[in-house]
């Protein structure tokens, strides 16, 4: 028995009337019921139906179909008109387009808003604050419709169970809470009250949550789902790479402490004063291969804070780590190289900084890009596979529905043909019965006619079963006979 027969449900209501009006229930779901026989029979009184196939939606929270819970808010079943209307609205494509357009308009409104100090504002900001109420109403209606359609929290596919929906819900709740506080704390007699700051209570901290509304675009754009899911999935591998980067920074910071400690605090001064001889001072060396002070009346002395405001140096472990990290990011690493070259010569600085950039930047930091690229490729393949599977499932469902309808029509036509054959058989049997009743009479008439032709005037019993003379049926003597009658 097929799976559709075990469900014990009746045929769909959109079948032709003659298929629903047949006396014996029809099997739903395949060739077992269409072919008849032992496998296609159905016990009387038991209805059959194919298992329900849930509808699926395209770009919601990422990723897969939306399985609706049997109940929403403890009272709304799937056949409830209110819930059916909510499901139809939230799964309507123009509704998604409207929400995305509203989010985009809200982003534009946040971008053109001009903050003023204290309670100052202008007419443009006041109009934008009024438009914010429209945005909040639209987002609130969307939230309530989705809660009615999918449930709040108890079902696995409920509204808040999705992370992006939870973010939308928090933004809407904070917006409603700020509006309520604004209306409660607003003084009716305050003529100078502007909507940007309610009188008596400052809700600017709550309104700062409005900057999170552009993140709602992520829940409506599937490609952004792929990017953010890739970043989230790459967190654990990135943690391992971060430990490797930290290890490299610590090793090179310790080497820098051994080689370059105190080298960045000498520069050229005028002789007999603490005035620096250069507008943009740089390190110098007392002797050796470093930079020498070539101007007249200048000398290389210490007591200089160092380049970059005294931040770039190897005087302690933390400054050394900061300098190494700057070089790994390749942000101004050549300046650090030239400063160290001026302080102590060419050999060690070139070996140190070139090896640091090659190993730390070209290899270690690029591992981060490799991990992100790999996770992005995986998520993209998963999204493509989900899309292909969804299309294949919808195609198979359509073919299965069509095959089921054709089976129903075929079974209905077969049963209607059997009924027609039964009617013809009944008429044929009735005609044979009538012919059987008339057959003895016709046989007697044929035999009587034959006997008359053969025996002439003899008194003969026309009964074909006896064949003996009957004295009651003697022929009279011929009128032309000359023999006297006794």
Q: Which residues are documented as binding site for Ca(2+)? A: 331
Residues 6+ apart with CB under 8 A from 184: 201
Rounded-to-integer distance, Cα 421 and Cα 428, Å: 10
Residues 6+ apart with CB under 8 A from 36: 414
Annotated binding site: 331
Q: How many CA atoms lie within 13 A of 450 on its CB side?
A: 9
DSSP string for 308-336: HHHTS--SSHHHHHHHHHHHHTTSSHHHH
Contact between residue 323 and residue 314 where contact means Cβ atoms under 8 Å apart: yes
Place of tokens 């309808």: 405
Beta bridge partners of 76: 72
Contact between residue 59 and residue 221 where contact means Cβ atoms under 8 Å apart: yes
Whole-number Cα distances in Å, 259 to 256, 313, 328, 349: 5, 11, 18, 9
Rounded-to-integer distance, Cα 341 and Cα 349, Å: 6
Beta bridge partners of 332: none
Rounded-to-integer distance, Cα 357 and Cα 334, Å: 10
Long-range contacts of 7-10 (CB under 8 A, 24+ apart): 7/48, 7/49, 7/50, 7/51, 8/46, 8/47, 8/48, 8/49, 9/47, 9/48, 9/49, 9/50, 10/47, 10/48, 10/49
Q: What is the 3-state secondary structure (H, E, C) of 51-115?
A: CCCCCCCCCCCCCCCCCCCCEECCCEECCCHHHHHHHHHHCCHHHHHHHHHHHHHHHHHHHHCCC
DSSP string for 353-381: HHHHIIIIIIIIIHHHHHHHHHHHHHHHH
């Amino acid at each position: 028995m097929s799976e559709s027969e075990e469900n014990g449900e009746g045929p769909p209501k959109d079948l032709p009337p003659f298929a629903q009006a047949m006396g014996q229930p029809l099997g739903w779901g395949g060739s077992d019921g269409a072919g008849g026989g032992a496998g296609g029979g159905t016990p009387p009184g038991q209805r059959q139906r194919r298992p329900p196939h849930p509808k699926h939606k395209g770009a919601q929270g990422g990723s897969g179909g939306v399985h609706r819970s049997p109940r929403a808010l403890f009272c709304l079943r799937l056949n409830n008109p209110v819930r059916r209307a909510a499901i139809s609205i939230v799964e309507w494509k123009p509704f998604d387009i409207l929400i995305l357009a509203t989010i985009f308009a809200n982003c534009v409104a946040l971008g053109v808003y001009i903050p003023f100090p204290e309670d100052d504002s202008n007419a443009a900001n006041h109009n934008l604050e009024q438009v914010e109420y429209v945005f909040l109403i639209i987002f609130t209606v969307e939230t309530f419709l989705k809660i009615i359609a999918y449930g709040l929290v108890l079902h696995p596919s409920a509204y808040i169970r999705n992370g992006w929906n939870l973010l939308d819900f928090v933004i809407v709740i904070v917006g409603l809470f700020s509006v309520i506080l604004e209306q409660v704390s607003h003084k009716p007699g305050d003529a100078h009250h502007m909507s940007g700051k309610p009188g008596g209570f400052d809700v600017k901290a709550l309104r700062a949550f409005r900057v999170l509304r552009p993140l709602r675009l992520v829940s409506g754009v599937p490609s952004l789902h792929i990017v953010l899911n890739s970043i989230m999935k790459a967190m654990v591998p990135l943690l391992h790479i971060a430990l490797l980067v930290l290890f490299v920074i610590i090793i090179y910071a310790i080497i820098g402490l051994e080689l370059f400690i105190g080298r960045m605090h000498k520069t050229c001064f005028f002789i007999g004063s603490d005035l620096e001889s250069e507008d943009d001072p740089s390190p110098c060396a007392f002797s050796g291969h470093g930079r020498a002070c070539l101007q007249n009346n200048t000398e290389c002395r210490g007591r200089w804070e160092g380049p970059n405001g005294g931040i770039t140096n190897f005087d302690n472990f933390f400054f050394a780590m900061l300098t190494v990290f700057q070089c790994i990011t390749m942000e101004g690493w050549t300046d650090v190289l030239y400063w160290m070259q001026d302080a102590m010569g060419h050999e060690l600085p070139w070996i140190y900084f070139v090896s640091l950039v090659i190993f730390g930047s070209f290899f270690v930091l690029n591992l981060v890009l490799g991990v992100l690229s790999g996770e992005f490729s995986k998520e993209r393949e998963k999204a493509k596979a989900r899309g292909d599977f969804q299309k294949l499932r919808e195609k198979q469902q359509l073919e299965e529905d069509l095959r089921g309808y054709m089976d129903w029509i075929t079974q209905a036509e077969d049963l209607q043909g059997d009924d027609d054959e039964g009617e013809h058989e009944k008429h044929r049997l009735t005609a044979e019965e009538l012919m059987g009743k008339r057959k003895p009479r016709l046989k007697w008439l044929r035999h009587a006619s034959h006997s008359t032709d053969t025996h002439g005037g003899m008194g003969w019993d026309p009964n074909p079963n006896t064949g003996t003379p009957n004295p009651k049926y003697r022929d009279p003597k011929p009128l032309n006979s000359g023999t006297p009658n006794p």
